[in-house]
Amino acid sequence: MWNGLIRNTLLGTRGADIRREARTVGTGGNGVPRLRLSPLPHALRVGALLAYLVGSAGALAESALFSPRFDGDPQWFRRSIVLPKGPRTEILPTSTFQPASGAGNTGFDSSGKRKAKGKDKSKAGEKVPLPSRYGSPEGNPLAPTRLAVPRLPIGVERKGASPYYVGPEIIITELPVRRRVLPDEAPFDPTGIQVGAFNFKPAIELTGGYDTNPARTQNATPSWYSVVAPELKFNSNWDRHEFTGDLRGSYYTYEELPSQNRPNVDSKLTGRVDVTRDTRIDLETKFLIGTDNPGSPNIQAGLARLPIFTTWGGTAGLGHRFNRFDIATKGGAERTVYQDSTFTDGTTASNEDRNYNRYNLQLRGSYEVSPATKPFMEVGTDRRVHDLDVDFSGLRRNSVGGYVKAGTTFEFTRIITGDIAVGWLERHYEDPTLQKLAGLTIDGSLTWVASALTTAKLIATTRADESRVFGVSGVFTREVTLQIDHAFRRWLLATFKVLYGNDDYVGSNRDDNRYSVSAAITYKLTRDLWLKSEYRHEWLRSSEPGSNYNADVFLVGLRAQR
């Protein structure tokens, strides 16, 4: 284009301004024509050409400076962005959108094609999306469709393998609602020591006090005293079967009255063997050490120390459950042995006539009306055989006894719970001069939860004990105890207790009424250490002259447990 322009400018296309002069160069009249231009037209043409060239360069510079060019023009952007290529990435196909011919970079469409009608204008209030800065969605090099897709790093070259990596499915589950931790209802109770499948709860109490009448006689002699009382409880944590133990012991030491020093042991082991889901074997053993209660007519006068008796034995039973009906039977045997009596003058006396064996058998049936109500009926019999057929008083004290009782367990809205049984007891002796022992029996316990801090408990018991008093068949004993516990704080517990007991010496006119009122407070320092104190007033009113007494007991102790 530029060559043609220069040629036309310099030579001229119309021939009006061109002069040709022919000269003959050489001989023979043959000459070579030569083009010759006049100087003035030549200068004018050269100047016009230079002016045109200068104007074209300025127009191009001005057009490039003020031309409308978008920063995100796809054609401009593609010249500056080079996407990487490699075995781990793959570029998706680019858009087929191309501007029309002659549009330049202004967006003008010179193709003359009919454009599709646009969508209706947005309604009032609707947000109209802003136009893309790239001119079209496909022009965005960072759009999701143009990003690199990673492939599976392992096995991508395997034939038939998927070229895309599919990650593991992520399951987002809702976090569980954190529940509020309930406060410990017994923050100061012992937790025990876990050994294998057993939980052991050892404890020991060290008590010191003052007793105004340790011997419980009409002529009182006060004395300071101390008590050491260890104990151990344990239970198994098996899925089936059960084995529990309750071992308690104590020893009383009086400074002014050593004759009243005495031990006390009450130990019991129980076990249950689950033969089947409904059949079980019940086992129990016991071991007792004690003396006659102070003030008892069984105690001889002038003793240097109280004679100690020992009782040991066990029972075995079989129980079966027929749906809601449960029936159980058990039998057992035990032996009681007394030490010889030692008097203050150094003499001794045998208590062999008090030694005896006891054999018992009982049958119990119950029906579960509801989980809280379970009526039952129980019958039992026992036989007592002494080592000596005739005691030192000339009486034959071997006997046979039996009882029957009926009752139920109950629960009223979990505020009042307990059990009660009413029955009849009889005991017949081989010696015809000994009167039959018989009477109404009431056994049970009632617990009333008055509030979260106050609990009241009522306990009733009935039993028949042996006696060595001449002409007395036995002692028919009934006791009723009312105990109220109130927690001022979780660590401060107050206990108020009232006891009434009646001892009926069958075969004689003696009838004793025993009373006791006590108040105690327990300060729980920690789970392992408690501080205890108690005041107790006891008195007895008897139909036998010279047997009444009064006693006041003060004590303070420390209990260590685990």
What CATH number should be reported for the domain holding residue 513? 2.40.170
Residue 505: inside a domain, yes or no?
yes
For residue 38, what pLDDT is reported? 56
Residue 53: inside a domain, yes or no?
no
Instruction: Answer whether 2's CB lies under 8 Å from 10's CB.
Output: no
Residue 542: inside a domain, yes or no?
yes
Instruction: Answer whether 6's CB lies under 8 Å from 52's CB.
Output: no
For residue 17, what pLDDT is reported? 45
Type and span of the H or E element at 289? strand 279-290
∠ CA 511-383-325 to the nearest 5 degrees? 100
Q: Where are the beta strands (DSSP E) in 126-197?
A: 193-195
Give the residue numbers spanning the domain of 411.
Answer: 193-561
Residue 483: inside a domain, yes or no?
yes
Residue 454: inside a domain, yes or no?
yes
Cβ atoms within 10 Å, residue 13: 10
Would you state the structure tokens that stand for residue 296, as one six-digit string? 């008892």
In angstroms, the Cα distances linking 328 to 319, 364, 383, 425 are: 4, 5, 20, 20
In angstroms, the Cα distances linking 201 to 205, 268, 367 are: 13, 15, 34
Residue 115: inside a domain, yes or no?
no
For residue 386, what pLDDT is reported? 95
Cβ atoms within 10 Å, residue 291: 21
Residue 219: inside a domain, yes or no?
yes
For residue 54, what pLDDT is reported? 54
User: The whole model's pTM is what?
Assistant: 0.67
For residue 16, what pLDDT is reported? 42
For residue 185, what pLDDT is reported? 75
Query: Residue 549, CB half-sphere, CA atoms under 13 Å: how many?
Result: 22
Would you state the structure tokens that stand for residue 448, as one six-digit string? 């009333």
Residue 321: inside a domain, yes or no?
yes
Would you state the structure tokens that stand for residue 22, as one six-digit string? 């022919």
- Please tell me the distance from the alpha carbon of residue 502 to that of residue 432, in angstroms, as a whole number: 26
- Please tell me the distance from the alpha carbon of residue 348 to that of residue 341, in angstroms, as a whole number: 5
- Please tell me the distance from the alpha carbon of residue 203 to that of residue 233, in angstroms, as a whole number: 9
Would you state the structure tokens that stand for residue 489, as one six-digit string? 């704080």
Question: For 99-117, what is each residue's pLDDT tens digit?
Answer: 555 545 555 555 555 655 5
For residue 15, what pLDDT is reported? 44
Task: Please choose, from the candidates 265, 435, 505, 467, the residue with its C-alpha nearest in 3D space to the C-alpha of residue 353.
Answer: 467
Instruction: Answer whether 553's CB lies under 8 Å from 538's CB.
Output: yes
Task: Please choose, from the candidates 427, 357, 353, 358, the residue with its C-alpha nearest in 3D space to the C-alpha of residue 394.
Answer: 353
Question: For 218-248, what is each residue's pLDDT tens digit?
Answer: 988 999 999 999 999 999 999 999 999 999 9
Type and span of the H or E element at 62? helix 39-66
Instruction: Answer whether 465's CB lies under 8 Å from 475's CB.
Output: yes
For residue 413, what pLDDT is reported? 82
Domain count, the chain: 1
Cβ atoms within 10 Å, residue 90: 13
- Please tell me the distance from the alpha carbon of residue 148 to that of residue 86, in angstroms, as a whole number: 10
For residue 141, what pLDDT is reported? 54
Low-confidence stretches of the chain (pLDDT < 50) are 1-2, 5-6, 9-33, 35, 59-67, 70-72, 76-81, 83, 87-92, 95, 103, 134, 146-147, 152
